[in-house]
Structure 1
Amino acid sequence: MVDVAVIGAGIVGLAVARELLIRRPSLRLVVLEKEQEIAAHQSSHNSGVIHSGLYYKPGSLKARACVAGAARLIRYCDEKGIPYRLCGKVVVATSPEEIPRLEELYRRGQANGVPGLRMVGPEELRELEPHVTGVRAIWSPRTGIVDFSQVARAYADDVLERGGQICTGYRVVVIHQRSCSTVVETTAGDVEARAIVSCAGLYADRIARLTGAPPVPQIVPFRGDYYVLRPERASLIRGNVYPVPDPRFPFLGVHFTPRMDGQVWLGPNAVLAFAREGYQRTAVNLTELAEAVRYVGFRKLARKYWRTGLAELWRDFSKRAFLRSLQRYVPELVDDDLLPGPSGVRAQALSPDGELVDDFVLDRQPGILHVRNAPSPAATSSLEIARMIADEVEPML
C-alpha cells in the first residue's frame, strides 16, 4: 500500500506529486498514467503562454493561482535552467465599441495584482507591435512563453529524485473504497492508497463517477486548430497579441502566439471535438460524441451560441474566413502566410445550465480529491494549484 496515488501524469498531477514529496519526504507516492508517456495531452498540446492573470474574476481560484503561479513558475524555470521568454502581451481593441470592455479588463488585472499593466494608445501599440492595428490596448509585460512539456518533464524528474514512482500504461478502470484506504484497479495491476488525488484532465468527470462523485460538471471536449505563420513572416509578431474578450461568446477568439522554437501560432478556433482525444477533424469516438451531445448542458450551450458555433465551424474549414479574423489585427497578412498547424483539445467542464465552468473546481470525498476543472491557465498556475491541493490532501494522511 502507498500513502498517495495521483491519477494523471499531466502537468498538474506531476506538480501535485512534487509538492507532496517536498512537504513529506518519506511519503510513499505513485503517479498513475494511462499513456506510455507523461504529459501526452493538454500539457503538451497548448499554446505555451505563461499567463499573467489578466482575465480572471478577482478573488477566484484562477486569479489567485495564476498571479502567484506565474511568479513561482518563472523562479522554477530560472532554478532549473528551463528557457522561457517574457515577450509580453497586448490585448487589442480594434474599434471604439471594444474600449469599455478593454477598460474593464484593465480594472480586473489591477485588482488581481498583475504586475506592470499599462493602457496604451495606437502610437505606443505601433512601437510595441509595428504590424498590429488597434485603437487602444493593454500592455502586459510579464506575460511570457515556455515549453510546458519541458516543465512537466522537470516536475517528473523532481518526483523521481524524491522517491516517487511514475507508472505509465496504468489506465484506471475501477475504484472502490475500503474502511481506511482506496483500491485503484488499473489495466496493469491494482494500487491501494490511503489518499487519492485525481488530475485526469479530459477524463476528470469519468474518474469522479467511478468513486460516486456527482456526475456534473461534465467534461465536453473542444478542439482548437492553429495555423502557423510562414517562417519568413514570423517577424510580423513580437509578442502575444490577443483580442478583447466578448462576454456574449463562450471562447476568447483567435490570437497570435510566439513559440520558443521561433514559430508563431495563429488561432485557435473552438469546435466540438468528436472524441476526447480527437486532435484531428476525422477523429471520431461515437460513444464519447454521443455522451457530449446527450448532455443537457451541451444542448443548452449549443442553443444559446448556435450562431457562434456555426461561425467557428465555418472558420475551421475555411482558411479565408480564418484569415479575415486575423486581419482585424494584422491587415497585411495574406493567404500564403498561413501554414497548417497543430491542434489541441480543451477539457471544458459544463454545468447543466449550459454555462462554461470558468473557475478551477475541486471535489472532495473521504480520502479522495478530484480536480474536476483545470483549463487554462492551469499550466501557468500548476505550482500554485499544487500548493492548494497539497493543503487539502495533507489532512488525509
Structure 2
Amino acid sequence: MDRVDAVVIGAGVVGLAVARALALSGRETLVLEQESAIGTGVSARNSEVIHAGLYYPTGSLRARLCVAGRDRLYAYCTERGVGHRRSGKLVVAIDARQRVELAALQARAAANGVPGLQWLEREQLRMLEPVLEAEAGFLSPATGIVDSHALMLALQGDLETAGGMVAVASKVHRIDAARGPGGAHVLLSGDSELAAAVVVNAAGLGAIGLAGRVSGSPPAPGYAAPVEPTRFAKGNYFSLALRSPFSRLIYPLPEPGGLGVHLTLDLGGRARFGPDVEWIERGPDGGFDYRVDPARAPAFEAAVRRWWPGLPAGVLQPDYSGVRPKLVGPGEPAPDFRIDGPAAHGWPGLVHLLGIESPGLTASLALADEVLSML
C-alpha cells in the first residue's frame, strides 16, 4: 500500500491553501480531486469578493478567520502577482426603516476588526455613486475582488514547489480511520488504497457526506457526524449587458439564506448581480443543475431597482450559478464554520472542513493555519 504524510481531499481554494501549508511544513502532501481540474466547484462559482468581515457574529470562526484571512490574502496576492483590487463596498439601507439594522451591522463590523468604516447619508452616497438611490449606507474600503482561478494556480504552484502534487480524477469514496500502518488513515478511491497520517477533508459540497463515511474505531463520546442536507442553496447570477455605472460593490442589507442580490465587479469592470437563494435537490446522478433560468430575470430586476431605479429593462442576462455547502436547510439560522478535528471526533490526524461557504475564499489562508494548529 502506498503511503504519504498528508492527503487533502478537494482541490478548491481552501483545499489548495491547506495543502500548501502542509507541504511548506515539511510534509509529503497529495491533493485528491474528483474532477478533471482544480477549482471547478464552489471556488469557481462565487462572487470572487475579498470580504472585510462585516456580517459574522463577533468571536465566531467566520469573523475571526475572515479578518485574518483578508489581510493574509491581500499580502499574498501582492507578493505572488495575483490579480486583485481593493474596490471598496457600499452597504446600503433602502429606506428609513433599515437605518437601525444598518447601524447595527456597522457596529458589528467594527467589533470584528474591520478598518476604515464610514457612515454616509443619501447625498454623500450620490457623490460616490450618482445613480445609487438609498437612504443611508456605509463604506467598507477593505472589501475587494480577486481573480479566484489565478489565486488557485498560485497556491498549486507553491504546493508543487514544496514537493506536493495534485491528482485529478481521483474520487475518495470513504475513509478508514483504523486500518493503516502506525494508526494512519486509509483512503479508498475506486479500487485503490492510500495510507496517510494526516487527512484533511476539504471536499466542498461533498465534505459533509464524506465525513459521514468514516469507518473505524468509535469516535469520541458525544461526537455526532454531520448529516448532509436534503436540499442545497443555489445562487444564480445575472450579468449587465451595459457598461457598469458603478465603481464600487453595492450590497443591500442581508436577507435569510444569503447577502441579498448585490452588485459585484470583476477585474475587467464587468458588473454581475447575485446571488439569489434557490433551494434545490441533487440530481439523479448526484450532481446539480447549474443552468440559470432566464425567467428569474424579473425578480432580479425588481431587487436591483430598489437601489438602482434607473436600471434599464431587459439588460440583465443569465450568467452562471453556484451551490453553497450549507450545514442547514431552508429557514434555519446560518451556522458557523464547522471544523471537526481530533479533539472533536477522536481520530488523530483527521480534520473535516464543513459548511465552508462565504467567506471561505477570503479566509482560505487563515483556515489553512487553523488546520495546522489542530494537527
Q: TM-score, normalised by structure 1?
A: 0.85
Alignment length (residue pairs) = 354
| Contact 1:316 1:322 survives alignment (8 Å) | no
Residue type of the alignment partner of 1:186: S
| Contact 1:217 1:372 survives alignment (8 Å) | no
Aligned to 1:296: none
Residue type of the alignment partner of 1:210: R
Residue type of the alignment partner of 1:3: D
Shift of 1:386: 0.6
Shift of 1:174: 2.7
Question: For 1:174 and 1:68, how far apart are their aligned partners in 2?
Answer: 32
Shift of 1:274: 3.0
Residue type of the alignment partner of 1:33: E
Residue type of the alignment partner of 1:73: L
Q: Deviations over 1:215-255 (max 9, x none)?
A: 43534421111110113x32x12111001124xx3332101
| Contact 1:279 1:345 survives alignment (8 Å) | no
Aligned to 1:229: 240
Higher helix share: 1
Residue type of the alignment partner of 2:188: E
Aligned to 2:288: 278
Aligned to 1:343: 321
Matched, 1:387 2:365: no
| Contact 2:291 2:321 survives alignment (8 Å) | no
- Percent of matched pairs sharing the same residue: 36
Question: For 1:139 and 1:84, how far apart are their aligned partners in 2?
Answer: 19
The unaligned stretches of length 5 or more in structure 1 are: 283-314
Aligned to 2:295: 317
1:241 pairs, out of 244, 250, 254, with 250
Matched, 1:218 2:239: no
- Indicate the larger mover: 171-180 or 264-273: 171-180
Matched, 1:9 2:18: no
- Indicate the larger mover: 365-374 or 36-45: 365-374
| Contact 1:255 1:266 survives alignment (8 Å) | yes
Aligned to 2:134: 134
Question: For 2:42 and 2:331, how far apart are their aligned partners in 1?
Answer: 23
2:266 pairs, out of 250, 254, 259, with 259
Q: Deviations over 1:185-222 (max 9, x none)?
A: 11373211112110011011111011157343534421
| Contact 2:10 2:33 survives alignment (8 Å) | yes
Any residues of structure 2 matched to 1:1-397 within 5 Å, and which? 1-22=3-24, 24-25=25-26, 27-176=27-176, 177-178=178-179, 180-187=183-190, 189-211=192-214, 214-219=224-229, 220-231=231-242, 233-234=243-244, 236-246=245-255, 249-275=256-282, 277-281=287-291, 317-350=295-328, 355-364=332-341, 365=345, 366-367=347-348, 368-393=350-375
Question: For 1:320 and 1:5, how far apart are their aligned partners in 2?
Answer: 46
Residue type of the alignment partner of 1:240: L
Shift of 1:34: 0.5
Shift of 1:273: 2.7
Question: For 2:323 and 2:60, how far apart are their aligned partners in 1?
Answer: 24
User: Secondary structure of the equivalent of 2:44?
Assistant: coil
Question: For 1:279 and 1:46, how far apart are their aligned partners in 2?
Answer: 16
Q: TM-score, normalised by structure 2?
A: 0.90
Question: For 2:287 and 2:138, how far apart are their aligned partners in 1?
Answer: 35
Question: For 1:154 and 1:188, how far apart are their aligned partners in 2?
Answer: 32
User: Secondary structure of the equivalent of 1:195?
Assistant: strand
Residue type of the alignment partner of 1:268: P
The unaligned stretches of length 5 or more in structure 2 are: none
Shift of 1:106: 0.6
| Contact 1:204 1:370 survives alignment (8 Å) | yes
CA-atom RMSD in angstroms: 1.9
| Contact 1:14 1:156 survives alignment (8 Å) | yes
Question: For 1:101 and 1:222, how far apart are their aligned partners in 2?
Answer: 25
Residue type of the alignment partner of 1:59: G
Question: For 1:223 and 1:41, how far apart are their aligned partners in 2?
Answer: 12
Question: For 1:217 and 1:360, how far apart are their aligned partners in 2?
Answer: 15
Shift of 1:71: 0.6
Please identify runs of 4+ aligned residues in structure 1 that moved more than 6 A: none
Shift of 1:344: 1.1
Q: Deviations over 1:21-47 (max 9, x none)?
A: 22x22x111111101101110111111
Residue type of the alignment partner of 1:274: E
Residue type of the alignment partner of 2:320: P
CA 392–371 in structure 1, closer or farther in 2 if over 3 Å, else same: same
